[in-house]
Amino acid sequence: MDKTDKKAFRIPQWLKTAWPYIRPVLVLSISLAVSFVVFSNVYKYIQIRYIRPVDIDDPTPYMLVVENSDSASRIASKLYEACGEGESGIISNKAVFKVYVDFVGKANKLKAGTYILSKNMDIPQIVDIICAGNPPKPTVKFTVQEGFTISGVLWALDKAGIKIDEEAFRSLCNETAMFSKYSFVEQLTNRPDKERDYALEGYLFPDTYEVFIDVRPEAVINKMLMRFYEIFTDEYIARAKELNLSIDDVVTLASIIEREASVDEDFYKVSAVFHNRLADGQKLESCATMQYALKVNKYVYTEQERATQSPYNTYLYEGLPAGPVSNPGKRAIEAALYPNQEYLDKKYKYFCNMDLPENKSLIFAKTFEEHRANVERYSKFW
């Protein structure tokens, strides 16, 4: 580099003079920029890891009760533990919740109340809900499917986030006096003891219900009995009398049909088979009753299992079992009352599954020989 080049790269005098003032500003700017990048990344990590919803795809409702004396730390602990032992909470980190409410100035604005929250809510949403306060008494929906037993009803309640006293619920299902305002329940009270597992099995009508999150067991049962009362019309009662059946007989038969049939038209055919067997004094030999008696669901039972002493075992005893083996829906009740006339007249008495699980239809037979041939053909699919 010659002298001319050195002269070209000479630092201007004004820069030399200003440098002592520029240098700290430049250092501070760079430091702030680096800090901003670091802070942004840390915040993004915290947001992704702790502030965002625990599970964006899980809308299961959980009840949170905030007392007047609860601090922000106590509320954080309740949120973290809200879903029960072994479950991730509504929030994933208590400390982050506490820091967040302090940072946004809402630590002292959290209000007492009963709230319905879920894992698909983020921390800002949760904080806003609790700060709003005075929530209306929360309700939640639960769905009981056709064919559910009382144990299935309890499962549906739990799935919906309704924490109910299971032991009390089961006990109330045998307390017919409490629900004797319903004539069909009163008839159960006057009926001779047939060693039923639950007096009200069969009468907790399958449907979708909306209840308060803190609903009591008797309120749930009453709501479901009321729905049964609405469904089982005077027309049904009159038809039952025509068939010389009590309401309980109809519900018991419907509960078996509900568990045996899957396809609409099969409900009425299965009903015809059972009506024919009852008329001829044959045992029903229903796997649905074995499932209820043994609490084991399968398609084929051994000779030893079929010999099990149970008032629900229709392989062992003639006639209807001690009581319903599920809570049937309207379709099964109508099938019990109005069996397929053709299958009734032609004396069909047997049926079995076809090629499960692809085909849920049943195949029917009039004679045991035809039935045995059907079993040999399709049993490999069961």
- Within the chain, strands assigned E span 62-66, 113-117, 139-143, 208-212, 350-353, 362-365
pLDDT at 203: 98
CB-based contact 173:150 (threshold 8 Å): yes
CA 147/CA 326 separation, integer angstroms: 5
Q: Name the DSSP letter for residue 12.
A: P
Element (H, E) at 187: helix 183-190
**Which residue in 96, 70, 311, 327 sits closest to 224, CA to CA?**
327
The pLDDT of residue 191 is 57
Tokens for 81?
């533990």
Residues 6+ away with beta carbon under 8 Å from 271? 253, 257, 335, 336, 338, 339, 340
Torsion sign (Cα): 298, 303, 304, 307: positive
pLDDT at 89: 87
What's the CA gap between 204 and 290, in Å, rounded?
A: 21
Structure tokens at 314: 């229709």
- 363 pairs with which residues across the strands? 352
User: In order along the chain (382 residues), what is the average pLDDT of each group of 10 residues?
Assistant: 56 67 68 60 52 86 90 93 80 89 92 90 93 84 97 96 94 93 84 78 98 94 98 97 96 98 96 97 96 88 91 94 97 98 97 82 95 92 79
Those residues whose C-beta lies under 8 Å from the C-beta of residue 142, and which sit 6 or more positions away, are: 156, 157, 159, 160, 162, 208, 209, 211
For the entire predicted model, the pTM comes to 0.72
Instruction: Return the pLDDT at 346.
Output: 96
The domains found in the chain, sorted by start residue, are 62-132 (3.30.1490.480), 140-231 (no CATH), 245-381 (no CATH)
Number of H helices, E strands in the chain: 17, 6
Query: Hey, what are 343's tokens?
Result: 């299958």
**Phi then psi dihedrals of residue 211, to 5 deg:** -135, 165
pLDDT at position 38: 53
**The pLDDT of residue 299:** 79
Query: What pLDDT is stored for residue 343 in this prediction?
Result: 98
pLDDT at res. 82 = 83
Count other C-beta atoms under 10 Å from residue 5's C-beta: 8
